Chain A
Amino acid sequence: MDLVSLGQIVVSGLANGALYAFVGLGFSLISRSTGIINFAQGDFAMLGAVLTGFLVAGGLPLILAVPLAVLVCGLVGGGLHVLAVQRAERANMAQLIIMTIGFAILIQGAVTWGWGSDPIAIPAFTGSAPLDLFGVTILPQQLWLVGTLALVTASMWFFFHRTVLGLALRAGASNPLGASFVGIDHKRLGAYSFVAGGLLGGLGGAVWAPIAFAQVDIGIALGLKGFTAAALGGFGTTFGPIAGGLIFGLVESLAAGLISSAYTDAISYGLLLAVLIVRPQGLLGKIQRGAADDNREEVLSAGLMPTRLSGHDFVRFGAAVGVLLLLSVILAASWKTAALFAGITAIVVIGMVLLTGFAGQISLGQGTFMMVGAYASGYLTLKQGWPPIAAIAFGMVFAGLLALVIGRFIFRLRGYYLAMASLSLLMIFQTLAREMHSITGGPNGLPGIAPLQILGIQFFTDDEVFLVILVATLLCLIAGLSITRSRVGRALLAIRSDELAARACGANAVWLKIGAFVFAAACASLAGSLYVHYLGIANPLPFSFKSSIEHIVALTLGGFLALYGSYFGAAIVVALPSVITTVFGDADTQAGAGLKFLLFGLLLIVVIIAQSNGNARRVSERVRGWICNGFRLKTAET
């Protein structure tokens, strides 16, 4: 490789990195001023790009189109805060973070619905004749991007460190109640910071768009990479995301240019994972080491949680079994397939109730562990001739060990580091599954996996498989119940509300969190195995980031602490697309697909508001009261 092409790789890497940094800066901005990790940040950038394209196509000159698009992004950001975040008065941080995933889905849906998902070309700001620097070509637009980034970074630093408003924003994130005692209206400031986040994202998107195409699909990728930039460099710092973004872009481009474009994701996310393991707070991030006395998260809890098995539990479990058996008899065949997928999702979600609800850790990549199960079942039964049960067990053990190793490093520090680590793990596994043909069969996967066979009995038809999955969900439910209704469940709740005090009682927080993670991983692996034994093929697609988002949606819909709720959440997530199709017509058109997404995001947001808004909560509790008294079946314990 000659120097010029190396230079070219570096230039394009840095240019991409500048965009990631832009988005990462938005993550950092919102996280510093509200504490929220805003997963819609990449979609603000996408919205900025698409809107610019749309306005230019509509005949507006660039000089008007860009500011207008950016402005709209800012308004969208502020609007989401006022209409959604502020309504969720008592939401905890995990709920708010998941709500922003709802924002992302909502924006993507709205854009697809409104403008479709075709790429839009946008003219460069100042001509597209490339500049030549010792043979390396640089686009003027790339300079625009870097210049804007530098300007924005400088003003952000000045803002946070030199203005009272910046201080006030940080104060509002640090202690909202304390902030109101000095006259800071943290709600209004939170809205400002979402406006700023929107402006920042929109600006990045609009300036970047001429380099490539504006397209709705880039939203997810931008969000992931911006998030990675912030995680790599350190959330809550100004320069961290810049460094993180540039490094990430550079590594990505070098990996593609020098090693293999197929492994780009594995290498760049491997870097993130390595950084998280060595330095969870990111390259430039600082760990806050205060006197342990004051650093407590306020858990505005819904009240007392049971930690011992009681008669109620048996009644409820019996009722659940009854309902499920009844379903297995009365469900029409076409619904049975859906019910079967819902059962598989429910298994994953039961694990997540322990992980997210009880241990307070967000995982964005339970798909990883589903893949472990899926490929263990596929590879071991097909190529090694193992019996399915042994392969399933192997997958669960392997997934558990993987979780153990990751957890051992990641849980050393408190915070949402698992969200980042699990995401990078998923990206790595997705790449490996696509590229390691000899084991995984590549993108085509491993076809021809035999149906499940237990003790010589084959489970082949939908009815038979449904039964297996039913039993599997119930076993997971029992395991989940006996963990949560035990001294361990009590310890997890104690850690959740006050980690230090719990540790002072002898509860080993790190190992308990690892335990919950291992449990969740094993559940997901089981679900993955069941999935491929049913479909007969293991391939990477069903376990992508989107599926992990669906798990989170299901968890949220069912309730964080509600084991039984996992069935409901899973059922809604699985049934919703077809319900929407039935109600709104064919979802095969772009607009239809967009509408589906839009409603999905809206549902997620509304449910979180309902769970955490005083008024909405009272209403929903009353409704639940009626239902529960009617059927003696308590749906959710939150």
Chain B
Amino acid sequence: MLEISALHAGYGKVAVLDAIDLEVNEGEFVAILGPNGAGKSTLLKTIAGVHSPERGTISLFGRRIGRLGPAERIRMGLGTIPEARQLFSDMSVRENLVLGAYARIGIRIPDALAADLDEVFALFPRLREREKQIAGSLSGGEAQMLAIARALMGRPRLLLCDEPSLGLAPMLVREMLGALEKLREQGITILMADQNALAVLQMADRGYVLDTGRIVAQGESKSLLNDKRLRAAYLGAGLSQ
């Protein structure tokens, strides 16, 4: 459903992504791993359309989307949990969530949206308690919950997750990963970048390892997990959990 070939991107003169080829099939859970500054976030931003690549092609659902803006891509079924959350910090939790559905609703807020809100509130009950609070005053973890919930409000078919576990307490990380697992069972495709490499790989079908803008390894999760060299270099040998 997502196909990327020979993608180059950067910031000004600094080249960050160097000839990336990547493919995600319908219903898959794919992990992107790699050290800090490897270009994971840049890759996800480029797919979401908020960063423009220098060269290369991206196609979504078989359609070239290189020229489309983020709004069109979202209407095609893309959703993002962005790095650093990117919430609307002077608006309430509820308003943030409603805006998560912006691309698929009209001028008026439809009544049916209440059901969607209930769904994400069931996932993160804390957000229901904080419904009227200004997003900027949430705790770090609560803000991360809101970023995840806002992305889910868009009912994406392909969900891009940039470090969704950042700032979440251990118990919630497990819950959140469980929730994503459930989404996948409903047929949603997931592409996730995360530092929590082992936990993510254990859930993922396949993984790509990115280092300084290149894909240095890729394959089934199991084979990546069993690769001693990779474990030592990227996954942190002997990690617990």
Q: Is there a direct interface between A and B, measured as CB atoms under 8 Å apart in the complex?
A: yes
Please give the residue numbers on chain A whose beta carbons come within 8 Å of chain B beta carbons, in ascending order: 162-165, 167-168, 170-171, 174-175, 177-185, 288-291, 293-295
Contact call B150/A163, Cβ cutoff below 8 A: no
B89 at the interface (CB under 8 A from A): yes
Contact indicator B88/A178 (Cβ below 8 Å): yes
Question: Chain B 105-136 against A: per-residue CB contact (8 Å), 1 yes, 0 no?
Answer: 11111000000000000000000000000111
Complex Cα–Cα for A165 and B154 (A): 16
| Partner-A contacts on B (CB < 8 A) | 48-50, 69-71, 74-75, 80, 82, 85-91, 95, 98-100, 102-103, 105-109, 134-140, 143, 150, 154
Cβ-defined partner of B90 (8 Å) among A162, A168, A288 = A288
5 smallest CB-CB distances across A and B, nearest first, come from A290-B136, A178-B86, A183-B103, A183-B74, A183-B71
Of A165, A167, A295, most B-chain CB atoms within 10 Å:
A167
A181 to B108, CA, bound (A): 20
Q: Is the CB of B102 within 8 A of A183?
A: yes
Q: Which chain A positions have C-beta within 8 A of B136?
A: 288, 290-291, 294-295
B140, A293: Cβ atoms under 8 Å? yes
* Contact (Cβ within 8 A) A177 B89: no
Q: Which residues does chain A contribute within 8 Å of B75, judged by CB atoms?
A: 183
Q: CB distance B107 to A164 under 8 Å? A: yes
> How distant is A282 from chain B, measured CB to nearest CB, in Å?
16
B88 touches A174 (CB 8 A): yes
Q: Decide: A181 near B70, CB < 8 A? Known: A167-B99, A294-B136.
A: yes
A185, B48: Cβ atoms closer than 8 Å: no
B90 close to A174 (CB less than 8 A): yes
Q: Closest A-chain residue to B81, C-beta based?
A: A181
Q: What is the distance, in angstroms, from B207's C-beta to the closest C-beta of chain A? A: 24
With both chains docked as a complex, state the minimum distance between the C-beta of B111 and any C-beta of chain A, in angstroms: 13
Apart from A181-B48, A183-B154, A184-B102, list 14 A-B contacts with CB within 8 A: A162-B108, A167-B95, A170-B91, A171-B95, A175-B86, A175-B89, A178-B82, A178-B85, A181-B50, A181-B86, A182-B103, A183-B75, A185-B71, A290-B90
Shortest C-beta distance, B60 to chain A (Å), equals 14
Q: Which residues of B contact A289 (CB under 8 A)?
A: 137
Q: List 21 A-B contacts (CB under 8 A).
A: A164-B98, A164-B105, A165-B107, A167-B95, A167-B99, A167-B102, A170-B90, A171-B102, A175-B86, A175-B88, A177-B82, A177-B86, A178-B82, A179-B88, A180-B70, A182-B154, A288-B136, A290-B137, A291-B139, A294-B89, A295-B89
In the bound assembly, the distance between CA atoms of A23 and B80 in angstroms comes to 39
Write out the residue numbers on chain B whose beta carbons fall within 8 Å of the beta carbon of A181.
48, 50, 70, 80, 82, 86
**Residues B99 and A168 in contact, CB atoms below 8 Å apart:** yes
Give min CB distance, B100 to chain A, whole Å.
Answer: 6
A178-B86, A178-B88, A290-B89 known; A164 vs B106 contact (CB < 8 Å): yes
A residues less than 8 Å from B69 (CB atoms): 180, 185
